[in-house]
Amino acid sequence: MTLTQYLDDLRGKRIAVLGYGISNRPLVKLLTGALLDVTVRDKGRLPEIPGARTVSGEHYLDELTEDVVFRTPGLRPDRIPLRPGAELTSEMEAFFALCPCPILAVTGSDGKTTTTTLISELLKATGKKVWLGGNIGHPLLAEADGISPEDAAVLELSSFQLMTLRGRAGTAVVTNVRPNHLDWHTDLEEYARAKKHVFLGQQPGDLLVLNADDPGSLACEADAPGRVRLFSRRTPQPGGAYFDGETLFFLGKPLLKRSEIRLPGLHNVENWMAALCAVGEQAGEETCRRVAGEFTGVEHRLEPVRTLNGVEYINDSIASSPSRTIAGLRALEDRRIVLIAGGYDKHIPYDELGGVVKQNVRVLVLCGATAPKIRAAVLAAPGPDPEFIEEEDFAGAVRAAARAARPGETVLLSPASASFDLFKNFEERGERFKELVRSL
């Protein structure tokens, strides 16, 4: 089915778009441009939207009588009072149904953006046209008619998007499954079940890439409809990827030295292995080596900001969970750190973080709702305590870190918490950090 045919099928139906955020604005423009019957509903205040009715405020889901309902990813499907016979869908589900080219989909608790970007860069380096979307890039549904069967769609998918997704990704990657978003999901089991939707629509010849070192990712193997390829830093994987501490092996052959990969940290070696398992054969050895030497990372992920008075400032705002902060600290284990942490509470445990903080954090600057939990986890871990500084606001935390840092040390923003207490998302938090650091 083409996009034009899909829009024609919606003609004569009443359509609701729930949420007017980044992912749904191009959708609304597409639907109203086709002169369809559209109502946009959002809890927040809505502007006037040409061609659409609007319903906003606390009761925006009351009297939801439309025939087709597009869900925003952040709204749980079980909280939508659909009328009997109504269809619940999303921009991403519609794209899966209409995309004419192979889809490569990546999910995971950590590493999915870097892995998705690496897959995209490797494919682009072969000359292939790549459409990057999902949780990264921009919504692709409105562009579906411009996609050729010879292209590739590379999608990063969150558990929120995957909750109701039914579609086929010819290649799927699950980087890891660790406690996350437990303020939104009912429990870890539901979260892990949502992640599995990235591959449950596969067919026998399709490929699923899993992390052999991560129990949550490896558990997906039992439900895989197609082929499985594993990557590991612990055990050789002749049919996948393996890192022995110095060399990255792919399909049983040495491919890259650690020194050839510009991305810092062992977690990025894992991201490289995941990307290779997905498209390494298509890319070829020379392309893989070239991209490894050129690709320096994605914004807000261990991103150097500036060096001032001998102190380096690094933005790792993506670290919205303890496991991400642990990975960042281990990537910088040869440095003395002044760490800025804390934020919105997603109800995930911080126990493991405490011991890693004590290994190379000299000063821990805390702010936000999770500050007491992080402090308690650090105090409970064995070893000497870092110096603690607590600040009420984010700007104060950055300034306090700058005052505490000594020449030769690194100030690291790696909050181990979500950003929703003060910011719309981790990107806004990272931009604010960079703005404050540049103003020092």
Q: Which of residues 67, 89, 111 is at a domain's end?
A: 89
351 and 221 share a domain? no
- Residue 388, token pair as written in the block: 């603690």
**pLDDT above 70: percentage of residues in the chain:** 100
Asked if 343 and 370 touch (Cβ cutoff 8 Å), the reply is yes
Are 365 and 383 found together in one domain? yes
Q: What is the pLDDT of residue 128?
A: 97
State the pLDDT at residue 180.
83
Of 244, 267, 294, which one is at a domain's C-terminal end?
A: 294
Last residue of a domain, one of 57, 89, 121: 89
- Residue 431: which CATH number? 3.90.190.20
77 and 123 within one domain: no
Q: Residue 116 in contact with residue 99, Cβ under 8 Å? A: no
Please indicate, yes or no, whether residues 122 and 227 belong to a single structural domain of this protein. Answer: yes
Run of H or E residues at 259 = none
Domain assignment of residue 279, given as a range: 93-294
Q: Which residues contact 168 (CB under 8 A, 6 or more apart)?
A: 96, 103, 201, 202, 203, 206
CATH code for the domain in which residue 7 is found = 3.40.50.720
Give the count of domains, the chain. 3
Domain shared by 288 and 394, yes or no: no
Residues 39-90 have pLDDT tens digits of 999 999 999 999 999 999 999 999 999 999 999 998 999 999 999 999 999 9
Q: Same domain for 188 and 73?
A: no
User: What is the average per-residue pLDDT within 151-163?
Assistant: 96
For the CA atoms of 270, 119, 172, 174, the dihedral, rounded to the nearest 10 degrees, stands at 30
Query: Which residues, other chains included, contact 152 with Cβ-Cβ below 8 Å and sequence gap of 6+?
Result: 101, 102, 104, 123, 128, 129, 130, 131
User: Same domain, yes or no, for 329 and 252?
Assistant: no
306-314 mean pLDDT: 96
Give the pLDDT band of residue 136 (cuts 50, 70, 90).
confident
* CATH (domain of 258): 3.40.1190.10
Residue 92: per-residue pLDDT: 95
The string over 39-50, giving b where at least 16 C-beta atoms fall within 10 Å of a residue's C-beta and e elsewhere, is: bbbbeeebeebe
189 shares its domain with 255: yes
What's the mean pLDDT when you consider all of the chain? 95
Q: What's residue 21's pLDDT?
A: 85
What average pLDDT does this structure show over 356-361? 95
In terms of domains, do 268 and 123 share one? yes
Q: Quick check: 275 pLDDT over 90?
A: yes
Question: Per-residue confidence at 138, pLDDT binned at 50, 70, 90?
Answer: confident
The answer on 168 and 45 residing in a single domain is: no
Same domain, residue pair 99 and 246? yes
SS3 for 223? helix
Residues 295 and 263: beta-carbon distance below 8 Å:
yes
d(CA 234, CA 224): 22
Q: Are residues 263 and 362 in the same domain?
A: no
pLDDT at 137 over 90: no
Q: What is the average per-residue pLDDT within 333-355?
A: 94
Angle at which helices 112-125 and 285-294 cross, to 10°: 120
